[in-house]
Structure 1
Amino acid sequence: MSDILQTVDWSRAQFALTAIYHWLFVPLTLGLGVLIALMETIYYRTGDAFWKRTTRFWMRLFGINFAIGVATGLILEFEFGTNWSNYSHFVGDIFGAPLAIEGIMAFFLESTFIAVMFFGWEKVSRGFHLTATWFTAIGANLSAWWILVANSWMQYPVGCTFNPESVRNEMTSFWEVAFSPVAVNKFSHTVTSSFTLAALFVVGVSAWYLLKRRERRLATRSIAIASLFGLAAALVTAFTGDRSGAIVARVQPMKLAAMEALYDGEQGAPLTAVGILRPTQGRTSADEAFYFRIDIPKLLSIMSFRDAEAYVAGINDLLDGNAEQGILPATEKIARGRVAIEELARYRAARESGDEAALAEVTRKFDPSTPEGKHFLGEYFAYFGYGYLDSPEQLVPNVPLLFYSFRVMVGAGCLFILILALVWWYNRRGTLESKRWLLWLAIAAIPLAYLASQAGWVVAEVGRQPWAIQDLLPVGVAVSKLPSSSVTTTFFLFLALFTALLIAEISIMLRQIRKGPGAE
């Protein structure tokens, strides 16, 4: 048992490590590809060689980042089969579909046109080259769409039914999976936040040139495009972030409660703008949760349910239940989940023994078209994953990590809107170069953008723990049956490899930035 638990912990750590490193490269790819396409569009329309030179400079940085992002992404996808084989079996019919489409449609679109984008400048017409650049940018974002569809299904499993014969969830509606409200909002939020990061990268690098009094025209023109692009993206990110909070309140209430360190549910719940949490042990109520906090009255209720007096469930409500609000106790969910597991065991036993009567009875319970199936699937199988939990306390994710990560993400996002607005305004007036404090702030915003981006994924992924699939499969059951030593070894191998790749990318990037656009 100890080795199994260690395998679960090391598998989680390895997947988190790979995802964190992969996400260091993806946002810049998504946003910088679009910015490059916009710059090349200007070159196509004007014929000005300056814009060709500018586009090729930013394209070199894009290429370095793109190559390493692909390498880490491939490893991440293989880990589903190596470290999470039970998960892959349980949902492969659903989860595999968007990943397959991503590989066939999006990844091949990128790989087909990226060669033309980099090596076709003097070999194809300007129009075809521009098309290749746009298709590369579109392909990267289509790739993100299908991957985020797969991730969103893990957060909000819809469009499927369970087949007791194969012990797999099978897709019943591709439309529901691909266009669920969680998937649409997650894509919008993730991509626009990536556009913001890429814009801050371009602005920050250009600010460095202005501080060094180099490449002034490239810097000011790049800032003109990137700051406006980034400001628009940051405002949309704020809108989709607000929408994300409302969706989470409905489909993942424990995540919302943990993000706010909300232990006791409230009507007209306030949003904690700033707070310092007490140590986790012994913390059971709102009074014990904080050393210090500044609240905005009723804002959490407004953001969650668009109603200033709406009830927002707290951690204690979700664990102990709240009959008045229609919230089942966690113990009841665990009991119902165990009933679902027992019915699945009955199905297997009936098949093995040839008991046709028992087999027909249980089959009806797993058939959504029958009255028995509607009742069983809605009242019992909906809590299938709870049956594998040992105690209600396992349902509570890491509250301090979520609480602080959420505030880093939101606080940084507000700062980015201010920085991009100021940079755009002063650059438009031609006085940006004299605002050295703002140029340094723009440079500092680059690492902060990466930190905010990672914090967003911490909120999304840590917030749904202990679930690999919300309510249906906890991570402890999803893991492969591997010796913990194997996972530990590969963890440190990946740590060394990814760190070397990251150091290599930063070194090459800095070298190219120092050389400037003149070095082809």
Structure 2
Amino acid sequence: MTHLDPALVDWSRAQFALTALYHWIFVPLTLGLTFIVAIMETIYVKTGDEWWKKTTRFWMGLLAINFAIGLATGIIMEFEFGTNWSNYSWIVGDIFGAPLAIEGIMAFFMESTFFAVMFFGWDKVSKRFHLLSTWLVAIGSNLSALWILVANGWMQHPVGMRFNPDTARNEMVNFWDVVFNPNAYSKFLHTISSGHVLASLFVIAVSSWYLLKKRDIKFARRSIMVAASFGLIVSLFNATTGDDAARHVAQDQPMKLAAMEGLYNGKAGAPIVAFGILNPSKRYNDNTREFLFKLEIPEGLSLLGFHSFDAYVPGIKQLIEGDKAHGIMSAEEKIRRGKEAVAALTAYKQAKKAGNAQAMAEAKQRFEANAKYLGYGYIKDKGQLVPPLQTTFYAFHTMVGLGFWFILLFILVLYSVMTNELHRRRWLLWAGVLSLPLGYLAQEAGWITAEVGRQPWAIQDMLPVGMATSHIATGSVMMTFWLFAILFTALLIAEVKIMTTQIKIGPEEGNHV
């Protein structure tokens, strides 16, 4: 890939990152708000209280705005696999395309069909059928996330496939291995529960604003009660799924874990960094200190990654230079074996073209002996295998720190509303309002940790990002990057303006007390 323009790779990565980050502004609110709306409508159907119907319809209106605008960014992101990442789509499309196709056929159509009934079917269908439609929208939207995260989980930990030297493609051999990939289901549960947390923060923020303005008091209290209860449950669940996700990262992506914790030198009983400031001049192979300042929890990283206080956790130095005592192969050896796999694959193709069966068999045998390291054959410098450390470290700790704050917030808000003290605690109401942007920050930090932390790989240990890009003009990618930046920003501004206008108008007439 020496002929590949590095600027093309960088701009392609930047464009996809831009699309993904904007898309994830809209998606988590949809994932969580659908369930909150379904819970509110269930209360309405059970009690027959018209207040709950009005409350449900208000939040459903905000959900519709977010759903419609979020759809546009998702469609664009899927098209980018064909435009900017055609080599990726060719090499792994047999596996990656299957869950995306199921997402479109099953989940998306179920979600879209019943969304129309949910939004336009009031007083046109029975209460119970409308409630069923609302729950199916909630289930469908989260099923959409399931199949997308199965695909993403496979990128983090590829299973259930084999590389076919005749086609130079990875082909699926076991669909169920892909679906039940432990990395995929832990990522799915952690991701959707984080979306539910954000939706709870959204409802609390808007309702807190009403209480600060001393309007729609009954509506705001009821909404906060549902959101804080739901938020506390899903935030505690989110913490447990985060623990499970970290364990899979430790086992399947040890370099990512080392970057998340700024761990340069591995050790048994490794501590976890509760708070730290990295030394920006530190390199894995020098003797300078790792942190300018840090607070640690003894043995916490070993416990997080391996559920054992004295487990050995490799650092960046061991993962690059190797550690025979712990069975860790050096990066140089992986690169050597990867180049042997590339050479054997080339020899196999040449022998096949020449019709030399014996040479084909020999080359195939050499290839299969080193196929596991094929992706490393395209790595030029072992230093490339270290992801952007500071970005990964700070994103991870931002996500975790905010997660603990959200749990505390839900507890405080729920206790205050149950004791009828919330309206008197203006500081807590302001905390509820200001925690909404922190919720979005935590969402983006989580995805930055997941995606930046596995660089330079498009598919972990199999396909470097540089090998995955399309052969198109760099200028075309630059132009579309800026066009998308303008488009997505306009969509975001439109959503914020429409939502704030709707919030200022407030619930339907009669919801005031």
TM-score of the superposed pair, with normalisation by structure 1: 0.96
Instruction: Summarize the alignment of residues 414-453 of structure 1 with structure 2, pairs less than 5 Å apart.
Output: 414-453=404-443
What's the CA shift for 1:339? 1.1
Match of 2:255 in 1: 254
Gap change, CA 1:343 and 1:42, over 3 Å in 2: same
Tell me the amino acid that sits aligned with residue 252 of structure 1.
Q
- Contact between 1:319 and 1:392, CA under 8 Å: does it hold in 2? yes
> Per the alignment, in what secondary structure is the counterpart of residue 55 of structure 1?
helix
- Contact between 1:263 and 1:285, CA under 8 Å: does it hold in 2? no
Matched, 1:182 2:183: yes
Once structures 1 and 2 are overlaid, which stretch shifts more, 357-366 or 64-73?
Answer: 357-366
Distance 1:286 1:196 in 2: 42
What's the CA shift for 1:363? 4.4
Once structures 1 and 2 are overlaid, which stretch shifts more, 273-282 or 127-136?
Answer: 273-282
Distance 1:342 1:360 in 2: 14
1:381 paired residue among 371, 374, 382: 371
Matched, 1:194 2:195: yes
Matched, 1:487 2:477: yes
RMSD: 1.4
- Contact between 1:220 and 1:427, CA under 8 Å: does it hold in 2? yes
Match of 1:132 in 2: 133
- Contact between 2:282 and 2:288, CA under 8 Å: does it hold in 1? no
1:461 paired residue among 447, 451, 466: 451
Distance 2:424 2:285 in 1: 53
Gap change, CA 1:444 and 1:2, over 3 Å in 2: farther
Distance 1:281 1:304 in 2: 24
Instruction: Summarize the alignment of residues 161-310 of structure 1 with structure 2, pairs less than 5 Å apart.
Output: 161-280=162-281, 282=283, 284=285, 287-310=288-311
Match of 1:370 in 2: none
Instruction: Summarize the alignment of residues 509-520 of structure 1 with structure 2, pairs less than 5 Å apart.
Output: 509-518=499-508
Tell me the amino acid that sits aligned with residue 408 of structure 1.
T
Encode CA deviations 1:43-62: one digit per residue, 9 max, x unaligned: 11111111111000000100
Matched, 1:52 2:42: no
What's the CA shift for 1:362? 3.9
Match of 2:120 in 1: 119
Encode CA deviations 1:90-134: one digit per residue, 9 max, x unaligned: 000000000000000000011111111111102111111111111
5+ residue gaps, structure 1, are 367-372
Match of 1:25 in 2: 26
Distance 1:333 1:130 in 2: 56
What's the CA shift for 1:359? 2.2
Distance 2:429 2:151 in 1: 39
What's the CA shift for 1:417? 0.2
Match of 1:470 in 2: 460
> Per the alignment, in what secondary structure is the counterpart of residue 480 of structure 1?
coil
Distance 1:381 1:235 in 2: 42
Gap change, CA 1:52 and 1:33, over 3 Å in 2: same
Match of 1:405 in 2: 395
- Contact between 1:336 and 1:387, CA under 8 Å: does it hold in 2? yes
- Contact between 2:341 and 2:366, CA under 8 Å: does it hold in 1? no
Once structures 1 and 2 are overlaid, which stretch shifts more, 13-22 or 334-343?
Answer: 334-343
> Per the alignment, in what secondary structure is the counterpart of residue 430 of structure 1?
coil
Encode CA deviations 1:171-195: one digit per residue, 9 max, x unaligned: 1111110111101100010011110
Distance 2:288 2:428 in 1: 41
Encode CA deviations 1:316-371: one digit per residue, 9 max, x unaligned: 101101111111110000011111111211221111111122223444567xxxxx
Match of 1:316 in 2: 317
5+ residue gaps, structure 2, are none
- Contact between 1:4 and 1:481, CA under 8 Å: does it hold in 2? no
Match of 1:41 in 2: 42
- Contact between 1:29 and 1:66, CA under 8 Å: does it hold in 2? yes
Gap change, CA 1:340 and 1:445, over 3 Å in 2: same
Gap change, CA 1:356 and 1:504, over 3 Å in 2: same
Match of 2:491 in 1: 501
Tell me the amino acid that sits aligned with residue 136 of structure 1.
V
| Identical-residue share of aligned pairs (%) | 57
Gap change, CA 1:286 and 1:277, over 3 Å in 2: farther
> Per the alignment, in what secondary structure is the counterpart of residue 5 of structure 2?
helix
> Per the alignment, in what secondary structure is the counterpart of residue 169 of structure 1?
strand
Instruction: Summarize the alignment of residues 324-363 of structure 1 with structure 2, pairs less than 5 Å apart.
Output: 324-363=325-364
Once structures 1 and 2 are overlaid, which stretch shifts more, 89-98 or 352-361?
Answer: 352-361
What's the CA shift for 1:287? 5.0
- Contact between 1:82 and 1:480, CA under 8 Å: does it hold in 2? yes
Once structures 1 and 2 are overlaid, which stretch shifts more, 279-288 or 257-266?
Answer: 279-288
- Contact between 2:284 and 2:316, CA under 8 Å: does it hold in 1? no
Match of 1:142 in 2: 143
- Contact between 1:197 and 1:450, CA under 8 Å: does it hold in 2? yes
What's the CA shift for 1:3? 6.7
Tell me the amino acid that sits aligned with residue 345 of structure 1.
T
Distance 1:481 1:258 in 2: 31
- Contact between 1:263 and 1:286, CA under 8 Å: does it hold in 2? no
Distance 1:58 1:282 in 2: 50
- Contact between 1:3 and 1:483, CA under 8 Å: does it hold in 2? no
What's the CA shift for 1:391? 0.8
Distance 2:160 2:366 in 1: 18
Tell me the amino acid that sits aligned with residue 248 of structure 1.
V
- Contact between 1:264 and 1:285, CA under 8 Å: does it hold in 2? no
Tell me the amino acid that sits aligned with residue 352 of structure 2.
R
Distance 1:268 1:130 in 2: 51
Gap change, CA 1:314 and 1:105, over 3 Å in 2: same
- Contact between 1:331 and 1:392, CA under 8 Å: does it hold in 2? yes
Gap change, CA 1:63 and 1:194, over 3 Å in 2: same
Match of 1:369 in 2: none
Distance 2:383 2:434 in 1: 40
Tell me the amino acid that sits aligned with residue 393 of structure 1.
G
Tell me the amino acid that sits aligned with residue 123 of structure 1.
K
